[in-house]
């Protein structure tokens, strides 16, 4: 039996990020959906863990204050592998030019062993000043 579930996390603290750093999703703002007393989607270290097989809609929103002019790219990963097409880039004109990046994806979990979604800053370095994860099980 498949249940609807969702999570919304936010991190409004400034995060100094090096190239290739995983963005910390912060804390849970809203979460719903349990199976046998365990959350179907949950916050786990620097990612979101998906605990039930099926399809999930994922949206990551990042506001970045880059350390210099150039591209700011955010890539979503599932279990350490880049999600095909889940890459968005904005270009900062200067180090004081904040950029907003929204990365949507639909992912699939094949078994119930759990799958982890993370957002990584690649390439470019900077300070993430706001980061939200919105994940809904379809």
pLDDT along the chain (138 residues), means of 10: 84 90 95 83 94 94 82 92 95 78 95 89 80 96
Return the pLDDT at 111: 80
Return the pLDDT at 2: 59
The sign of the dihedral angle between the CA atoms of 35, 41, 43, 48 is positive
β-bridge mates for residue 32, sequence order? 6
Token pair belonging to 104: 């949507």
CA distances from 79 to 50, 57, 69, 87 (A): 10, 16, 31, 16
Return the pLDDT at 26: 96
Token pair belonging to 52: 């039930």
Task: Say how far apart CA 103 and CA 58 lie, in whole Å.
Answer: 8
Return the pLDDT at 1: 47
């Amino acid at each position: 039996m498949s249940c609807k579930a969702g999570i919304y996390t936010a991190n409004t603290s400034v995060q100094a990020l090096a190239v290739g750093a995983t963005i910390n999703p912060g804390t849970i703002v809203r979460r719903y959906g349990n199976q046998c007393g365990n959350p179907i989607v949950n916050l786990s270290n620097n990612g979101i863990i998906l605990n039930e097989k099926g399809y999930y809609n994922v949206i990551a929103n990042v506001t970045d204050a880059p350390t210099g002019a150039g591209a700011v790219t955010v890539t979503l990963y599932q279990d350490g592998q880049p999600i095909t097409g889940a890459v968005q880039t904005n270009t900062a004109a200067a180090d004081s030019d904040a950029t907003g990046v929204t990365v949507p994806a639909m992912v699939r979990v094949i078994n119930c062993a759990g799958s982890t979604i993370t957002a990584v800053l690649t390439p470019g370095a900077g300070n993430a000043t706001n980061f939200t994860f919105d994940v809904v099980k379809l």
